[in-house]
Amino acid sequence: MKKNCNPLIGNSPQASHFSTWRKYDCNEKLNAFVPPKWNNISNYFAQILQNQESQDFPCYKYAYTLMDKCLNKNAFIPPEMKKILHQVPQMQAIIPQQEEKKRKRKHILEEETEEKKENHDHVKNVLVLGMMGILPNQYDLKRVNTMSTYPPPLRDYNRLQALQQQYPEATIYTLNLEPVPGIKVQPTHIFTSITGRGARAVSRTFPGVQFDLVVLDYFRFPAEYMENAYKNICAQNGFLDTLAKSKMLSDHFDVFIPHLKFKESFCLNPPKREWKIESVPSDKNPLSYSTQTLSNDLLGGYTNQVQLDLLQPITPFNQLHPSQKVKEGIRVRVN
C-alpha cells in the first residue's frame, strides 16, 4: 500500500480521510456511511475500485479489507450486512481484474509514448515557410503592450517556440520574403521566395540539410497574399520539386499546406513523383497543433480558431508525403 495516499472515505458529512478513518473502531467506520447499510458501502467501494486512474487505488483496496474485518468481528450483523458474505468473493475478484486493466493500460501508454518518441526522432530538421525565426529578446515587452499593432515577428517567435517543444531535438529553419528593420534573425533563417529559385537559395545556404517536416504558415495571411506566396509550391520545378532534386527532402518527409476556403488546393497537381496528398484536420498539422496551445495574448490578440476558419472546414490542411511511406505505415507525427 502506498503510504502517501489519503483519500476521503465515506459518503456522510462526517466522512474522514483514510489516515483518520482507518483508526476508528468498527462502529465508527460503519457510521461514516449514510445510511450504514452494506449496499451503500459496497456500491461506494465498487465505484472507487473502477477508477483505474486513482492514485489512491491501494488505499481503497485496504479500506475494503478493513471493512470486511469489521463486519466479521461484529457479533450481531444486520440482515443487510450479511450480503457481505456473498459479495466478498465478487469484490475481491474485482481487484485483480482492475489491476490487470491498469497494468495493460500502463503498458499501452508506454508503447504510445515510445512510438511518439520514435516518430519525433524522425524529425531532425523542420522548415517553416512564411515565418521569421528571430533571436530572443528582440522586443521590449512593456513597449509591445502599449503598441497598437502587435509585431508579427514576436508572434512568429512565440509560435516557433511552441513548435520546438513538440520536437525538442530538431532544428527549425524558417523562410520569409523580406526582413523587418532592426530585427536580427536566427542563423537558421533565410530571406527568399517560395519558388524554384528560392529552393536553390535554401540549398546553397544550408548545404547538406534534409528536411523531415515542411509546414506553411496560415496565420494572418490574406487570401490574395497566400495565393501569391504559395501558388507555385507544388509546381513542376517549383519549390518542393526543386528541394527534392537538391536532395533536401528526407525519404519520410511531411509537408502541411493550408487550403483556403472556396479555392483550389495549392497542391492540386503535385510534381510527377511518388508523392501522395490527402486532406487532414487541423490537429494533424504540427504548427496548428502547437499554435493552439498558446494564449491569445501571445498571438497578438488573435485566435488560432479564427485563422483556421479562413481555411477549408473540417480538413483545413493538405498533407503531402512520399506514397511509399503510406504503404509502410511510417508516420512522422502521431496524434
C-alpha cell at 334: 502521431
Q: Which residue has the cell 512568429?
A: 156
Ranges of residues in the chain with a pLDDT under 70 are 1-4, 35-40, 42, 45-57, 71-102, 109-121, 269-272, 324-335
The answer to whether the beta carbons of residues 311 and 261 sit under 8 Å apart is: yes
Q: Which residues, listed in sequence order, are joined to residue 254 by a DSSP beta bridge?
A: 213
Q: What is the pLDDT of residue 325?
A: 45
Q: What is the pLDDT of residue 233?
A: 93
Helix (H, G, I), strand (E, B), or coil: what is residue 129? strand
Kindly report, residue by residue over 136-194, the tens digit of the pLDDT.
989 888 888 788 788 999 999 999 999 999 999 999 999 999 999 989 999 999 999 99
Report the run of H or E that residue 127 belongs to, with start and end: strand 125-129
The DSSP output letter for 211 is E
* Contacts for 69 with CB less than 8 Å, ≥ 6 apart: none
Chain centroid to Cα 237, Å, comes to 35
Q: What is the pLDDT of residue 31?
A: 79
